[in-house]
Amino acid sequence: MKRLFGALVPFALLTASCAEPAQALERPVAAPAAKRFANEGMGLKTAVFAGGCFWGVEAVFSHVKGVKSAVSGYHGGKSSTAKYDLVSSGLTNHVEAVRITYDPKVVRYDELLRIFFSVVADPTLKNRQGPDRGAHYNAELIPVNAEQRKVAAAYLKQMEASGKWSRPIVTTVESYRAFYPAEDYHQDFAAKNPRHGYILRWDKPKVNALKRMYPSHYRSSFLRDG
């Protein structure tokens, strides 16, 4: 369960769920370069990634060149229950996710997948990431078009065959249903709360790994949506 602190966060959510910072360290994995390149044509594109607590997913993608927007939110479920205190119960059929808008001329979808599995999400974990537990923290790829779906499916097969992970790949490709932006205080959370214990313990290392492993994709400034 992640805990929220600071004047910007409603008091009622102080005991709500991203997590207790007292678990084993996550380690980045040098995911393979995709053999199947994405060919999405011209213009900005949208993609949705679920990879545990959305603070870290958003933080990493907000530092990727070519990403124009990164919005934390809830995928699936119903609009009436797309609220943090309810989603945190794990009973609403939502997953915490991030919707990004990107320029495929700068960063392709397959390159986003590689970054995601290198520094954001462990594809061998079901219904949990890092210290967070529950179905709402499941790692999922959520394509929004046919090309993304083909690329995602091909990449998961390539990952399985690569031998980079010692356990089976359990991340799945899910159908896009609906995306509901999260509450305002969750947007740009890492940028607004750089000294938050959870950010320092779990998410700053992911951004540092992005910088170290993919310097050509790394942008030093944090892309803010708000």
β-strand partners of 99 = 48, 71
Report the alpha-carbon distance of residue 34 to residue 184 in Å, rounded.
35
| pLDDT, tens digit, 9 for 90 and up, residues 72-86 | 999 999 999 999 999
CATH number for 43-208: choose from 3.40.50.720, 3.30.1060.10, 3.40.720.10, 3.30.1450.10: 3.30.1060.10
Give the confidence band of 22 by pLDDT, cuts at 50, 70, 90. Answer: very low
pTM metric for this prediction: 0.91
Question: Which position among 9, 34, 48, 53 bears the catalytic label?
Answer: 53
Report the alpha-carbon distance of residue 139 to residue 111 in Å, rounded.
17
pLDDT > 70? residue 157? yes
Q: Does 53 participate in catalysis according to the annotation?
A: yes
* 3-state SS assignment for residue 100: strand
The residue extents of the domains of the chain are 43-208
Cα separation values, 92 from 21, 83, 137, 150, Å: 25, 9, 12, 28
